[in-house]
Structure 1
Amino acid sequence: MLKGLGGIGDMAKMMKQAQELQGKMAEVQESLNTMTVQGESGAGLVKATATAKGELTALDIDPSIFNQDEKEVVEDLILAAIKDAQSKAQDKHNEEMQRMTEELGLPAGMKMPF
């Protein structure tokens, strides 16, 4: 008589899982704001620190590289360190998203919406 109502329980379960997923995604997003990575260039003469979301937060330049005649070299080292930090930030972001999908039992390689 009420055969069609059997799916309501499944729907409620799916909604609860969706809410849990949303909460976990928010937690991961927040943690990506506080995780940091460090990129470097010139054997560590220039270091760039970024959040796992890719926001540059610090730049450390060894004073020994400040030579007026080598301005272009310094600029290249700075850019290389920033690019390295951004690349590492993307790797960390992907790693955290993969960890979350595994914890939630989602299919491997599933892309999250962010």
Structure 2
Amino acid sequence: MLKGIPGLGALGDMAGMMKKAQEMQTKMAEMQEQLANTVVLGESGAGLVKARVTAKGEVTGLDIDPSILVASEKEVVEDLIVAAIRDAQSRGAQRMADEMRKMTDALGLPADMKLPF
């Protein structure tokens, strides 16, 4: 139970909870900004295609080894691009989950609590 302001009983507890909620909201906003600026790298084809994605899933760049840019291999290249983007997005989602876990731990919340994010 959160300790509130002495002498106010349940109102003190409510004030303490409101303060915690405001702290959590501030930390979530900071984390969202940090994740929007955190870039992860995904790859496919043993590194022939690399995708850069923010931890929030926005694709920011793509590197394709020129050796695979052959007209007859168009479908393979397309598949490698999609695979690299999916890999990067998966890594970004994992980074986001890790950061959420750290935040809930720091706030003393249950590890399986789903926050609106």
Cα distance in 2 for residues equivalent to 1:13 and 1:20: 11
The residue aligned with 2:59 is 56
The residue aligned with 1:18 is 21
Q: State yes or no: 1:109 paired with 2:112.
A: yes
TM-superposed deviation, 1:11:
1.2
- Equivalenced residue count is 111
Q: CA RMSD in A?
A: 1.3
Of residues 57, 69, 80, the one that matches 2:72 is 69
Structure 1: 5+ residue runs without aligned partners? none
**Relative to total residues, which structure has the larger helix share, 1 or 2?**
1
Cα distance in 1 for residues equivalent to 2:9 and 2:62: 59
If the length of structure 1 is used for normalisation, what is the TM-score?
A: 0.93
Q: Which structure exhibits the higher relative contact order, with contacts defined as CA atoms closer than 8 Å and separated by 6 or more residues? A: 1
If the length of structure 2 is used for normalisation, what is the TM-score?
A: 0.90
Deviating beyond 6 angstroms after TM superposition, the runs of 4 or more aligned structure 1 residues are: none
TM-superposed deviation, 1:111:
1.0
The residue aligned with 1:33 is 36
Structure 2: 5+ residue runs without aligned partners? 1-7
The residue aligned with 2:4 is none
Cα distance in 1 for residues equivalent to 2:78 and 2:10: 62
Cα distance in 2 for residues equivalent to 1:28 and 1:86: 17
Of residues 64, 78, 81, the one that matches 2:81 is 78
The residue aligned with 1:94 is 97
